[in-house]
Structure 1
Amino acid sequence: MRIKPLLLATVLGLAALGAQAQTAAARPAAPAAAVSPEYRLGSGDVIRIMVYQNPDLTLETRVSETGVISFPLLGNVRIGGLGVTAAEKLIADGLKNGNFVKSPQVTLTLLQVKGNQASVLGQVNRPGRYPIETADMRLTDLLANAGGVATTGGDMLVLSGMRNGKPFRTEIDLPNVFSADQNRANDVLIQNGDVLWVDRAPLVYIYGEVQRPGPFRLERGMTLMQALAAGGGLNQRGTERGIRVHRKAADGRVQVVQPTMDESLRDGDVVYVKESLF
């Protein structure tokens, strides 16, 4: 009679374990941590290679145009296109298989990046070519290297290059990169040979009876009233009834329109404020 309570407890214990197993199986697996891709060595990169406890094998060299270096005891070693870790392993395996070093510990340090570069052109503070020092370099990183968008630059950027052997071109709306949803896809990964173009900001031109005539940056959604305010407003001779906007149509012809004060302007609009007759 004493066996029954023990048997019942065992059955209940097994049932509990089974329920826990089902719960664990139903629970979604934790997402794996994202691993950043490693920088790949390119022609022109300056590197230092050291082998632990073998100072005579220390080498500072530049990767050739064909991606090859000349390493002591091994001769020519092709490391172009390899990540740093893979290049270290390739040299270590060569030393071990050749019976030069029993258990080689190879360290490769990148001293100067020349093989992987991207260009920034247009309306930035420091246009030029910049090294891609990390494999996960983003558009915002490249733009920061160039000193950011200049005051004359616009929000629309164009990134061109090659992806998977095919020409690549995409337009990027810079404010969307920093939107509330923080969509990382908008912050494009930069690859070797990419060219980032920052176009000028859209402009409107105001002349006539205003305080400060001239060209003005067209902000998003800027209305006629806001543009006139940027020009200091109408002077004593100006009149709202005499405002005309000269706008280029799709066929290239210039049309004269009379928008309302809350109507949005377009890039290239010319606002003319006439003189009041009274």
Structure 2
Amino acid sequence: MAVFDGGRRAGDPRGLPFFGSMAIGGVMGLSTRALLRLVLMVALGSLASVGWLSAAAQAATPVSKDEYRLGSGDAVRITVFQNPELSLEARVSESGVISYPLLGSVKLGGLSLTQAEKRIADGLREGNFVKQPQVSILVVTVRGSQASILGQVNKPGRYPLEQADTKLSDLLALAGGIAPNGSDTAVVSGQRSGKAFRKEVDVPLVLAGKQSEDIGIQAGDVVFIDRMPMVYIYGEVQKPGAFRLERDMTLMQALAAGGGLTLRGTQKGLRVNRRGSDGKVEALTPGMQDTLRDGDVVYVRESLF
């Protein structure tokens, strides 16, 4: 019985590996035509394996969904390692292309930085300009992906979305937060999948950590913060005037905000003037625990005795 030791056959005086000796013997016995066919098969198999490895390497480096994607108007700085003549600053055109030496017009709009770097590197390598190009891209100015925030915020304006996963809370932070006279509701409008999009967001829920309310902001979105809801009190109260209508504020709480009733004021016959959806003003006589609405006008009568 043959015994194998480290790929050698026991008793083999040549000391050659068993499989190696078999292969050599088989090759020596082949004709020239068969030998050429064998070499061709081995070469084709090597090329196929190289192509498979290249595809696998590309698939093994997925692009993060949170990576910024280039847009029209963005200014980028492109650097090619050890090739300073190929390094330059360029601005992405409205059609999403830049003009690059040796390559001409290169489409970069909509690509992540990783994809854009690969596209330029592939062009330099396939054109035999640089054997192993190492390309890096830095966004100097973000112009393509911007969103606006308007209304009652401390710093309204247009802000760049430097990250693909920018949230409403991030945009509010860039705008310095909601102003003291701002509402607790943010209205986000824009487009999603080619259709008009509008959503009212309860900002206190966002600040409380409710992730579902902290929606993502996309390029072209507009966030509007309305003025805070107001309630107006006049008549026999200590401090008549306009007051912020807090959430679920009752008539009693509103009177307390106004400093309470004067000595001549009375709780009897309290009247609330409320404008309806049709624009008409209706006079109501609510209870002390009834909630008020934005724009309500509270009147406190003078006591007859």
Q: TM-score, normalised by structure 1?
A: 0.84
CA contact (8 A) 1:242 1:276 kept: no
3-state SS of 2:212 partner = helix
Q: 1:155 aligns with which of 184, 205, 214?
A: 184
In structure 2, how many angstroms separate the alpha carbons of the residues matched to 1:173 and 1:97?
53
Q: Which amino acid aligns with 2:256?
A: A
In structure 1, how many angstroms separate the alpha carbons of the residues matched to 2:75 and 2:218?
19
Q: What are the superposed Cα offsets for residues 226-247 of structure 1, whole Å, 9 maximum, x if unpaired?
A: 1011111112221111421111
Q: Does 1:102 align with 2:123?
A: no
> CA offset at residue 250 of structure 1?
3.5
Q: Does 1:203 align with 2:210?
A: no
CA contact (8 A) 1:242 1:275 kept: no
Q: What are the superposed Cα offsets for residues 147-192 of structure 1, whole Å, 9 maximum, x if unpaired?
A: 111111111211111111111111111122234xx33221111111
Q: Does 1:71 align with 2:105?
A: no
In structure 2, how many angstroms separate the alpha carbons of the residues matched to 1:36 and 1:184?
18
3-state SS of 2:119 partner = helix
Q: Does 1:261 align with 2:288?
A: yes
In structure 1, how many angstroms separate the alpha carbons of the residues matched to 2:239 and 2:271?
17
In structure 1, how many angstroms separate the alpha carbons of the residues matched to 2:218 and 2:278?
38
Aligned residue for 2:274? 247
Q: Which amino acid aligns with 1:55?
A: P
> CA offset at residue 81 of structure 1?
0.9
Aligned residue for 2:115? 86
Aligned residue for 1:177? 206
Aligned residue for 1:235? 262
In structure 2, how many angstroms separate the alpha carbons of the residues matched to 1:254 and 1:230?
24
CA contact (8 A) 1:88 1:107 kept: yes
Seen in structure 2, the aligned counterparts of structure 1 residues 250 and 64 have a Cα distance that, compared at 3 Å, is closer
Q: Which amino acid aligns with 1:240?
A: Q
Q: Unmatched 5+ residue regions in structure 1?
A: 1-34
In structure 2, how many angstroms separate the alpha carbons of the residues matched to 1:190 and 1:252?
35
Q: Which amino acid aligns with 2:142?
A: V
Q: What are the superposed Cα offsets for residues 185-206 of structure 1, whole Å, 9 maximum, x if unpaired?
A: 2111111100111112111100
3-state SS of 2:144 partner = coil
In structure 2, how many angstroms separate the alpha carbons of the residues matched to 1:38 and 1:273?
59
> CA offset at residue 71 of structure 1?
1.1
Q: Does 1:40 align with 2:69?
A: yes
Q: Greater share of strand residues, 1 or 2?
A: 1
Q: Does 1:212 align with 2:212?
A: no
3-state SS of 1:185 partner = coil
CA contact (8 A) 1:48 1:109 kept: yes
Q: Which amino acid aligns with 1:48?
A: R
Q: Which amino acid aligns with 1:214?
A: G
Q: What are the superposed Cα offsets for residues 6-44 of structure 1, whole Å, 9 maximum, x if unpaired?
A: xxxxxxxxxxxxxxxxxxxxxxxxxxxxx5421110111
Highest RCO, 1 vs 2 (Cα 8 Å, sep ≥ 6): 1
Cα RMSD after superposing both structures: 1.3
In structure 2, how many angstroms separate the alpha carbons of the residues matched to 1:250 and 1:119?
30
In structure 1, how many angstroms separate the alpha carbons of the residues matched to 2:296 and 2:131?
75
Q: Which has the larger radius of gyration?
A: 2
CA contact (8 A) 1:45 1:112 kept: yes
Q: Which amino acid aligns with 2:100?
A: F
> CA offset at residue 89 of structure 1?
0.2
| Aligned pairs, number | 242
> CA offset at residue 208 of structure 1?
0.8
Q: Which amino acid aligns with 1:197?
A: F
In structure 1, how many angstroms separate the alpha carbons of the residues matched to 2:219 and 2:283?
47
CA contact (8 A) 1:50 1:106 kept: yes
In structure 2, how many angstroms separate the alpha carbons of the residues matched to 1:126 and 1:243?
41
